[in-house]
Structure 1
Amino acid sequence: MRLQEARFVVVDTETTGLPPEGRVVELALVEVGLEREPQIVYSALVDPGCPIPPEASAVHHIVDRDVAGKPRLSQIWPKVLGYIDDAVLVAHNAEFDRGMLPETGRPWICSKRLAQHLWPNAPKHSNQVLRYWLGIDVEVGLPHRALGDAIVTAHVFQRELRAYLEAGYPDDVEALIGFAESPIEVQTMPFGKYRGVPLSEIRVDYLDWVLNNVQDLSPDLKWSIERAIERALSPSGFGGCA
């Protein structure tokens, strides 16, 4: 399906914490398309069925009294699925929002990964930083709330769709999803004694040690280290020297 024909729905949640233990306290949906301006589809507070930790309230400023008497996620979920229908779902850090919600049966796109691919030189890739970096002038209401964040993400995603096509990538939804999910090259070591040092300047034996001994490397970092080692060991490579 061509991008202009696709229906995209941005999803944003506010929660009591991280998945899988965290629970949703607010959910918002905003529809957007390549040529369709963002439109609010749905927004609701949700009773998580447990106290909201103060650390979570400090982020979204939703407290227990705000969700008292509100429906549970299971009660609104049939309505949410009706709004989603045949849409491709979009979220900024889709792994998080997808992990907070029941399975939808619909494909997801991570707008943060798209931004990292399309604009590697952006100062940061959070939706609010991208909002100002891209010069997006939009009224979003309360900050750090599901609806406001969903509106910002919808505008960012629309810019991403246009940048993606302008860069000459295939005008196809599946190709866009594949592009977003493809590895993102990490340029510098994010931890340890070589933190901040370009991977290309780190000794191959140390990179190999990291691959074999450090647990829970992100797929992007693992791929980037493997790529750095391959480059260093190739006939034209210079080898790490840090």
Structure 2
Amino acid sequence: MNNGPREVFSTLIHPGCSIPPEASAVHHITDRDVADKPALEAVWPQVLELVEGAVLVAHNAEFDRSMLPETGRPWLCSKRFAQHLWPDAPNFQNQTLRYWLGIDIDVGLPHRAMGDAVVTAHVFQRELAAYLARGYEDDPAALFNFVAGPVEVRTMPFGKHRGQLLEEVPRDYLNWVLENVQRLDADLEWSIRRVLGKSA
């Protein structure tokens, strides 16, 4: 795997609606900032040209992918990659991983897409290095399989046993979760079944 050439593209987009003040409080982008900016549809052909033949890497890729039109390109989630590689990290937020890994970079304004993308790129490079250092195959298909595999959930994320190690949660409660919680997170279901000794 190699880094290859790098091209940077960034633009504000007119969202087609008013920006809520709660959102502006996070990224400091206001309606005035985007008043004369293009709609997503206007720049999307350029985006597709830039990502032609690429693998798209995003932190929490499922969310980003749901917010964008289809690209026809494969996606890889750097958050999920980190969960596999470093289960003892403080948490798996992009900026937390940046400081936990000691990535010393200037990303400009916080909570802007370009800064977040730069952090994601650096985190991903560290992930690739750690993955290969552990002897995993230097092959895109093997990497995708690794990242897509189930991630072990160690503690109960909700309910009266929230924060308790799954191994210590009463078995009848774990069985109740499997039988009654709708749209149960796939990783949590796999982890509960593993604790219970059931086939996932």
The TM-score normalised by the length of structure 1 is 0.79
Q: Tell whether the 8 Å contact from 1:41 to 1:83 is kept in structure 2 after alignment.
A: no
**Aligned equivalent of 2:81:** 114
Structure 1 residue 130, shift from structure 2 partner:
0.8
Higher helix share: 2
- Measure the CA separation in 1 of the matches of 2:196 and 2:22: 41
Q: Which runs of 4+ in 1 moved over 2 A?
A: none
- Measure the CA separation in 1 of the matches of 2:170 and 2:97: 34
**Aligned equivalent of 1:89:** 56
- Measure the CA separation in 2 of the matches of 1:57 and 1:181: 34
**Aligned equivalent of 2:182:** 215
Structure 1 residue 124, shift from structure 2 partner:
1.2
Per the alignment, in what secondary structure is the counterpart of residue 11 of structure 2? strand
Match for 1:70 among 32, 37, 49?
37
- Measure the CA separation in 1 of the matches of 2:186 and 2:26: 28
Q: Tell me which amino acid in the other structure corresponds to 1:87.
A: A
Match for 1:181 among 137, 145, 148?
148
Structure 1 residue 203, shift from structure 2 partner:
2.0
- Measure the CA separation in 2 of the matches of 1:168 and 1:158: 16
Query: Deviation per CA, 1:93-127, whole angstroms, max 9, x where unpaired?
Result: 00111111111111000000001110111111111
Match for 1:199 among 150, 154, 166?
166
- Measure the CA separation in 2 of the matches of 1:109 and 1:205: 36
Match for 1:145 among 94, 107, 112?
112
The TM-score normalised by the length of structure 2 is 0.95
Query: Deviation per CA, 1:160-181, whole angstroms, max 9, x where unpaired?
Result: 0110100111111111111111
Per the alignment, in what secondary structure is the counterpart of residue 197 of structure 2? helix
Matched, 1:56 2:23: yes
Query: Deviation per CA, 1:122-151, whole angstroms, max 9, x where unpaired?
Result: 111111111111111111000000000000
Matched, 1:131 2:129: no
Q: Tell whether the 8 Å contact from 1:183 to 1:220 is kept in structure 2 after alignment.
A: yes
Q: Tell me which amino acid in the other structure corresponds to 1:111.
A: S
194-203 or 66-75: bigger deviation: 194-203
Relative contact order, CA 8 A, sep 6+: which one is greater?
1
- Measure the CA separation in 1 of the matches of 2:153 and 2:51: 34
Q: Tell whether the 8 Å contact from 1:52 to 1:63 is kept in structure 2 after alignment.
A: yes
78-87 or 214-223: bigger deviation: 214-223
- Measure the CA separation in 1 of the matches of 2:48 and 2:17: 24
Q: Tell me which amino acid in the other structure corresponds to 1:82.
A: E
Match for 2:139 among 172, 180, 184?
172
Alignment RMSD (CA, Å)? 1.5
51-60 or 116-125: bigger deviation: 51-60
Matched, 1:79 2:11: no
Structure 2 alignment gaps of length 5 or more: none
**Aligned equivalent of 1:238:** none
What is the identity percentage for the equivalent residue pairs of Structure 1 and Structure 2? 66
Query: Aligned runs of 1:4-43 on 2, under 5 Å?
Result: 4=2, 33=3, 39-43=6-10
Structure 1 alignment gaps of length 5 or more: 5-32, 234-242
